[in-house]
Amino acid sequence: MASLFNLAGVGLSSPAAAPRRSRGGGFAGAAERARTRRVVSVRAEVQAINPEIRKSEDKVVDSVVVSELSKPLTAYCRCWRSGTFPLCDGSHVKHNKATGDNVGPLLLKKPKE
């Protein structure tokens, strides 16, 4: 049976995602599908995210003042490694050490009144 999800671009497919007929002719139940599920793990490549922008700086951090913010400071992730994405959780520090990169967060600041 054809797969509903075809990840041919990465050489993977998920036949378990397609509805299957059970032995009685009806569609397979949740318990039967659970036994046939496959897990696909995706690993991030260890390479620099910022290959050329402001490489002379230790860490590239940009700040933008936005008057409509509810919090005085919000940090957004630009390394794509944050466990709280899109918010920054500091994961760029580990990434920068592993790759020699200098990526940092985007800081949105509320202006001082």
**CB atoms inside a 10 Å sphere around CB 109:** 16
| Cα–Cα distance, 54 to 84 (Å, whole number) | 26
Active-site residue numbers?
59
Q: Which residues contact 59 (CB under 8 A, 6 or more apart)?
A: 92, 96, 102, 103, 104
